[in-house]
A and B are shown apart, each in its own frame.
Chain A
Amino acid sequence: MTAPLLSIQNLHLKMSSFDGRAHVLNGINLTVNRGEIWGLVGESGCGKSLTGLSISRLQPTPPAHYVAGEILLEGQDLLKLSQAQMQRLRGKRIGMIFQDPTTNLNPAFRIGEQLVDVALAAAEHDAGVLDCPPNAGRRARRIAARKLAGDMLARVGIPNAQARLDSYPHQFSGGMRQRVLIAMALIGRPDLLIADEPTTALDVSVQAQILELIKNSVNDFDMGVVLITHNLGVVAQTCSHVAVMYAGNIVESGPVAAVIGSPVHPYTRALMSAIPTRETKRGMLRGLAGSVPNLIVPPPGCRFAPRCQFALPACTAAMPAAVPVGNDHAVACIRVAEMEALVHG
Chain B
Amino acid sequence: MLRFILRRLLLLIPVIIGLTIIMFAIARLLPGDPVALAAGPNATQAEIAALAVEYGLDKPVWTQYANYVSGLAHGDFGTSLLTRRPVATDIAAYLPATLELVFAAMIIAVAVGIPLGLVTAVWRNRWPDYLAQVGAIGAISMPRFFLGLLLQLCFAMWLMWLPLGGRLPIVVIPPPSVTGFLTIDSLIAGNWTAFTMSLRHLALPAIAMSLSPLATIMRMMRSSTIEVMQQDYVMTARALGLPSRKIITKYVARNAVSATLTVIGLYFGWLLGGTVLVETVFDWPGLGLYATKAIVSQDMMPVIGVALVIGLLFVFANLIIDVLYGVINPKVRYS
Interface residues of A (CB under 8 A from B): 56, 58, 87-92, 95-96, 98, 100, 103-109, 114, 117-118, 121-122, 168, 170-171, 181, 184-185, 188
- Do A109 and B239 touch (CB < 8 A)? no
Knowing A122-B241, A170-B330, A188-B241, the reply to whether A109 touches B232 (Cβ < 8 A) is no
Assembly CA distance A95 to B246 (angstroms) = 18
A171 closest partner in B (C-beta): B334
Using CB atoms, name the residue of chain B closest to A53.
B239
Q: Which of B241, B246, B334 contacts A89 (CB 8 A)?
A: B241
Q: Which of A90, A106, A168, A171 has the most CB of B within 10 A?
A: A106
Across the interface, B244 reaches (CB within 8 A) one of A87, A92, A104, A107, namely: A87
Count A-B pairs with CB separation below 8 Å. 82
Query: In the complex, what distance in Å separates the CA atom of A235 from the CA atom of B308?
Result: 68
Asked if B331 contacts A105 (CB within 8 A), the reply is no
Rounded to whole angstroms, the CA-CA distance of A74 and B258 in the bound complex is 43
Pick the 8 closest A-B CB pairs, nearest first. A91-B241, A90-B241, A91-B240, A96-B239, A103-B232, A106-B233, A168-B330, A104-B236
Residue in contact with B236 in the complex, picked from A92, A105, A109, A170, CB distance below 8 Å: A105
Q: Mark B212-256, 1 if CB is under 8 A from A, else 0.
A: 000000000000000000011101111111111010001100110
Identify whether the interface residues of B are mostly helix, strand, loop, or mixed.
Answer: helix
Is there contact, CB below 8 Å, between B330 and A91?
no
> Do B232 and A188 have beta carbons less than 8 Å apart?
no
Known: A106-B251, A107-B329, A170-B331. A98 touches B235 (CB 8 A): yes
Nearest residue (CB) in A for B231 is: A103
Contact status A88-B328, CB under 8 Å: no
- A89 partner residues in chain B, CB cutoff 8 A: 241
A105 partner residues in chain B, CB cutoff 8 A? 233, 236
Name the B residues within 8 Å of A98 (CB-CB). Answer: 232, 235-236, 239
Q: Which of A88, A90, A185, A188 counts the most B-chain CB atoms under 10 A from its CB?
A: A90
Tell me the count of chain B residues lying within 8 A, CB to CB, of chain A.
24
A91 to B231, CA, bound (A): 19
B233, A88: Cβ atoms under 8 Å?
no
Closest chain A residue to B239 by CB distance? A96
The residue that A181 contacts in the complex, of B236, B241, B251, B254, with Cβ under 8 A, is B236
Q: Which residues of B contact A108 (CB under 8 A)?
A: 251, 254-255, 258, 328-330
Q: In the bound complex, do residue B237 and residue A106 qualify as a contact, i.e. CB atoms below 8 Å apart? A: yes
Smallest beta-carbon distance B187→chain A, Å: 31
Q: Are B232 and A104 in contact (CB under 8 A)?
A: yes
Which residues on the A side are within 8 Å of B232 (C-beta)? 98, 100, 103-104
Min distance, Cβ B196 to any Cβ of chain A, angstroms: 36
Docked complex Cα distance between A38 and B328 (Å): 41
Q: Which residues of B contact A107 (CB under 8 A)?
A: 233, 255, 329-331
Separation of A58 and B239 alpha carbons in the complex (Å): 7
Q: Are B255 and A117 in contact (CB under 8 A)?
A: no
Interface centre among B233, B244, B255 (most CB of A within 10 A): B233
Given A96-B240, A108-B254, A118-B241, 20 more A-B residue pairs with CB atoms under 8 Å apart are A56-B239, A58-B239, A88-B241, A92-B241, A96-B236, A98-B235, A98-B236, A98-B239, A103-B233, A104-B232, A104-B235, A105-B233, A107-B255, A107-B330, A109-B254, A121-B246, A168-B330, A168-B331, A170-B331, A185-B240
Instruction: Give me 13 A-to-B residue pairs in the complex whose CB atoms sit less than 8 angstroms apart, sorted by A's number.
Output: A87-B238, A87-B244, A91-B240, A91-B242, A98-B235, A107-B329, A108-B254, A108-B328, A117-B242, A117-B250, A118-B242, A168-B330, A170-B331
Q: Give Cα A108–Cα B237 distance, bound, in whole angstroms.
A: 14
Binary interface encoding of chain B residues 322-335 relative to chain A, with 1 for a CB under 8 A from any of its CBs, else 0: 00000011110010
Query: How far apart are A233's CB and chain B's nearest CB, in angstroms?
Result: 25
Residues in A with CB closer than 8 Å to B258 are: 108
- Complex Cα–Cα for A260 and B330 (A): 46
Instruction: Tell me which residues across on chain A come within 8 A of B237, comparing CB atoms.
Output: 106, 114, 118
A185 to B236, CA, bound (A): 9
The interface residues of chain B lying within 8 Å CB-to-CB of A188 are 240-241
Residues of A within 8 A of B255 (CB): 106-108
CB distance from B3 to the nearest CB of A (A): 21
B241 CB contacts on chain A under 8 angstroms: 87-92, 118, 121-122, 188
Interface contact A170-B329, CB-CB below 8 Å:
no
CB distance from A172 to the nearest CB of B (A): 12
Closest beta carbon of chain B to A44's beta carbon, Å: 17
**What separation, in Å, do the CA atoms of A48 and B320 have in the docked complex?**
48
Q: Name the B residues within 8 Å of A122 (CB-CB).
A: 241
Residues A90 and B239 in contact, CB atoms below 8 Å apart: yes
In the bound assembly, the distance between CA atoms of A105 and B232 in angstroms comes to 8
Min CB gap A78→B, angstroms? 14
Question: Which residue from B233, B328, B329 sits with its C-beta under 8 Å from A104?
Answer: B233
Within B265-282, the residues touching A (CB, 8 Å) are: none
The smallest C-beta distance from A82 to any residue of chain B, in angstroms, reads 13
Nearest B residue to A122 via CB reads B241
Nearest chain A CB to B250 CB, angstrom units: 8
Residues on A with beta carbons closer than 8 Å to the beta carbon of B330: 107-108, 168, 170
Contacts of A95 in B (CB 8 A): 240
**B residues less than 8 Å from A181 (CB atoms):** 236
